[in-house]
Structure 1
């Protein structure tokens, strides 16, 4: 079961890497300030702006919840509640943003079929179908299952 979760995290991370790259261009202090002040509409605007170039509308969304993790002698880590939704696949996940690290952790899944291998296949297909042509990453469906770590740097 844990390996399926890691595989789902890896699939999400691989397929949203261009979105992550665009999001990371935003000044972290802007995100931190908006998380502190619970300005979820501002965070949502940033997420929508970054995702609209890579995903069909409404497929990659901010779930209007976020948190900071204080760390000693460095900028706080940001965690944004996100949601990927396409066809019968709904995957809530956390997007973790730190100084030199961006990661994805699954928060739950709702897939039409509960079989792990079919669920991963549905997720992979849904991620591929939800994407708009990505000028930074011209991957095919086979690329979505290439071996990579579950976290992006």
Structure 2
């Protein structure tokens, strides 16, 4: 049986993963070889630009950013996995997490979550604040109006 922290962490990771689905699809438009080269050569600015442009249609500016770290799991005979350190920031919540991108799967691993004035918040309250921050960070599609 999972302890309460693990249950809340799993729920938070699921919330974040669901919010990032469209962004993950955008990130996969970049060739895996480019991620490998950028990570190996320390070209973090290029990855930051990719993350920024991939998220701009789905989240408000500055909400999702590359946190200057990542890893490559690349072995002979296996599918490469690119792990990017990312930060989700929408007041009052900041989440540091790792996004793992495989050929068909993606995973979110939360490393740290901070909630402004949240030192007395329960685990459920922190999860609820994250849920609200994710919802508030999304760019809402504008209704299409017809011109007569």
TM-score normalised by L of structure 2: 0.86
Unaligned runs of 5+ in 1: 136-153
Question: In structure 2, which of residues 62, 66, 72 is the aligned counterpart of residue 68 of structure 1?
Answer: 72
Do structure 1's residue 127 and structure 2's residue 138 form an aligned pair? no
Q: Does the 8 Å CA contact 1:77/1:96 hold for their aligned counterparts?
A: yes
Question: In structure 2, which of residues 84, 90, 103 is the aligned counterpart of residue 99 of structure 1?
Answer: 103
Whose radius of gyration is greater, 1 or 2? 2
Q: Does the 8 Å CA contact 1:54/1:134 hold for their aligned counterparts?
A: no
Write the distance in 1 (CA, Å) between the matches of 2:79 and 2:42: 18
1:45 aligned counterpart, secondary structure = helix
Unaligned runs of 5+ in 2: 143-148
Higher RCO by CA contacts (8 Å cutoff, separation 6 or greater): 1
Are the structure 2 counterparts of residues 134 and 36 from structure 1 closer, same or farther at C-alpha, using a change threshold of 3 Å?
farther
Are the structure 2 counterparts of residues 40 and 7 from structure 1 closer, same or farther at C-alpha, using a change threshold of 3 Å?
same
2:59 aligned counterpart, secondary structure = coil
Query: Aligned residue pairs: how many?
Result: 135
TM-score normalised by L of structure 1: 0.83
Runs ≥4 residues deviating over 6 A: none
Do structure 1's residue 27 and structure 2's residue 31 form an aligned pair? yes
The CA RMSD over aligned residues, in Å, is 1.4
Are the structure 2 counterparts of residues 69 and 10 from structure 1 closer, same or farther at C-alpha, using a change threshold of 3 Å?
same
Question: In structure 2, which of residues 11, 15, 20 is the aligned counterpart of residue 16 of structure 1?
Answer: 20
